[in-house]
Amino acid sequence: MSENQPSALITIFGATGDLANRKLFPSIYHLFKKDRLNPKFAVVGTARRELSTEEFHNQVKESILDHVGPEEELDEFISHFYYISLDVANTDEFSKLKSLIDQLDEHYHIGGNRIFYLAMAPQFFETIAESLYKKNLKSAFGFNRLIIEKPFGHDFASAKELNDHIRQAFDEEEIYRIDHYLGKEMVQNIEVIRFANAIFEPLWNNRFISNIQVTSSETLGVEDRGRYYEGSGALRDMVQNHMLQMVALLAMEPPIRLNTHEIRSEKVKVLRALRPITGNEIAKSFIRGQYDAGVSKEKAVIAYREEDHVDPNSNTETFVAGKLMIDNFRWAGVPFYIRTGKRLTEKSTKIVVQFKDIPMNLYLKTEETLNPNLLVIHIQPEEGITLHLNAKKAGQFMDATPIKLNFSNKSTDGMNTPEAYEKLLYDCLRGDATNFAHWDEVALSWTYIDPIAKAWEETKEPSFPNYQSGSMGPKKAIELLDKDGFHWWPVTDLDVENC
Ligand code: NAP
């Protein structure tokens, strides 16, 4: 078996759902097209509804036609797909799944390598893991890997309970907790930019960096996920996982080796160094918002409280801004500001590293200030890096003017980078867990978030709704930086395309 083309039998729980259709089938197809999938592979889809093999094949075909485009080789690819109707709440039904995957394993000479992808609501994670174990679906001779979607728990206690249950069936090394941000090209690039360039690492500390800003903004509202979102909110949905993962990558020490264990352990150290936010500090360091009606992308849109399945008096936040402090030698005194929210001005995920001002301004009038140097990492939708510098204004005099050095991922290879899910599936196939969250990371993130989530649940926010759809969030989020003498760098001005 080639290390880069591992054979495997992939079982997808929730194969009729949105995630499977929008992300998983197209990702598996891309791997197939790129010869990253060993021809000895099979995919078994399961869900409750009854589907014939032909109906399932049509569903997979449609998913690929919709999300990839017209393709020629679909028949060969689709012939590897099988479907079995199964209610995961009933452990006995796993026996029929076992006989199907045992047969397919033999038929395709897969060698016992199994991936179980839980693309289902989190309340089923425990029972599926337990039934897989009890009914002997784990193979005795190949690898067994369990991929779990977010959310991993609702707080530390529930995440621990879930983890304890799953660990009775799967070892930590067999568990792949998805954080799809970790599969994004430019999130992975943070590490390379930092550790492969001599010019950044010496400056990457509190002597030269004044603050770091991480923004992940969406223009969409809650859409049809009102029921889920009401029980979650932006803090749990975005901050506990994606935002803290980006902070950890930005702040970690260089690992001694680029392997899963070393990288994860450096990220864990950052999460351990996060200054806990409790009591009165919560209101000083974290701001919550909820969108009101407004105009988004030139269309009038309704308030969060008017969305389907949302309480008309909802206390759920659709926006979070926070100031995080990392208490270690490298970062003492440097605020990491994060903000994320729905119905904001632009869809954009960006990191802005703001360097400290030079000690003296020689080039502008005394009342003017030179622009600080910024390193901007564009995560999505554009992918790239911009370095903001000052240079001489063309002409007679020695005046300074801001300039930007720009790298756009799209313009170099002329194509979009692979979807996060495609990369993560391939990582899992190869047994590389680096870009999945280890339990220690999940546990520390919940420990950090829990006091804030609890305080927000217990106190109703009287100002909700407190930001207009189409804006960049509540006024208090601006004041959060104002009082430290900083401001949010606008997401639009920093676009790669505009540079
Ligand atoms: P979904 O569209 O609601 O799909 C749920 C799937 O579970 C369906 O295939 C459903 O099929 C099946 N199902 C429900 N109850 C079942 C049962 N008792 N036994 C067997 N199958 C059952 O959900 P989704 O959007 O795909 O999300 C799946 C997971 O991914 C969730 O944890 C979600 O938080 C996470 N996630 C999703 C996205 C996304 O883009 N959709 C993004 C990030 C994370 P039947 O009704 O036929 O049983």
- Residues in CB range of 258: below 8 A, 6 or more apart: none
Domain edges within the chain: 9-149, 182-482
Point out the catalytic residue in the list 30, 80, 242, 378. 242
Pocket test for ligand 1, best of 12, 13, 19 (most atoms within 8 A of CB): 19
Mean predicted lDDT score pLDDT of the chain = 94
404 CA from centroid of ligand 1 (Å): 44
pLDDT value of position 413: 44
Given a cut of 80, whether residue 281 has pLDDT beyond it is yes
The closest alpha carbon to 117, from 96, 103, 132, 102, belongs to 132
- Per the structure block, which two tokens stand in for 46? 């399961």
52 CA from centroid of ligand 1 (Å): 19
16 CA from centroid of ligand 1 (Å): 8
Q: How far apart are CA 229 and CA 458, in angstroms?
A: 17
CATH topology of domain 9-149: Rossmann fold (3.40.50)
Q: What angle do CA 217, 218, 219 make, to 5 degrees?
A: 130
Per DSSP, the residues of 408-459 read: EHHHHHSSPPPPHHHHHHHHHHHT--TTSB-HHHHHHHHHHHHHHHHHHHHS
Handedness of CA 306, 307, 310, 315 (dihedral sign): negative
Q: What angle do CA 223, 229, 233 make, to 5 degrees?
A: 125
Of all protein residues, the one whose alpha carbon is nearest to atom 3 of ligand 1 is: 17
Percent of the chain clearing pLDDT 90 (strictly above) = 87
Q: Detail the residues annotated as belonging to a binding site.
A: 48, 87-88, 150, 180, 184, 218, 237, 342, 347
Could you read off the pLDDT of 386-421 as tens digits, one per residue? 999 999 889 988 888 899 999 988 744 444 567 899
Q: Detail the residues annotated as belonging to a binding site for substrate.
A: 180, 184, 218, 237, 342, 347
Fold identical between 9-149 and 182-482? no
Pocket test for ligand 1, best of 11, 18, 180 (most atoms within 8 A of CB): 18
Pocket test for ligand 1, best of 50, 59, 120 (most atoms within 8 A of CB): 120
pLDDT tier, 1 (very low <50, low <70, confident <90, very high otherwise) = low
| Mean pLDDT across 80-84 | 98
Given a cut of 70, whether residue 494 has pLDDT beyond it is no
- 14 phi and psi angles, rounded to 5 deg: 95, 35
pLDDT value of position 415: 46
pLDDT value of position 140: 93
| Mean pLDDT across 189-212 | 96
- Check if 242 is active-site: yes
14 CA from centroid of ligand 1 (Å): 5
Please state which CATH number belongs to domain 182-482.
3.30.360.10
Question: Closest ligand 1 atom to the C-alpha of 88?
Answer: 19
Could you read off the pLDDT of 142-160 as tens digits, one per residue? 999 999 999 999 999 999 9
pLDDT value of position 70: 83
Could you read off the pLDDT of 282-308 as tens digits, one per residue? 999 999 999 999 999 999 999 999 999
222 CA from centroid of ligand 1 (Å): 17
Q: Which residues have C-beta atoms less than 6 Å from ligand 1?
A: 14-19, 22, 47-49, 86-89, 119-122, 149-150
pLDDT tier, 499 (very low <50, low <70, confident <90, very high otherwise) = very low
More confident residue, 9 or 492: 9
| Mean pLDDT across 166-195 | 95
pLDDT tier, 370 (very low <50, low <70, confident <90, very high otherwise) = confident
Could you read off the pLDDT of 313-324 as tens digits, one per residue? 999 999 999 999
The closest alpha carbon to 267, from 432, 434, 427, belongs to 434
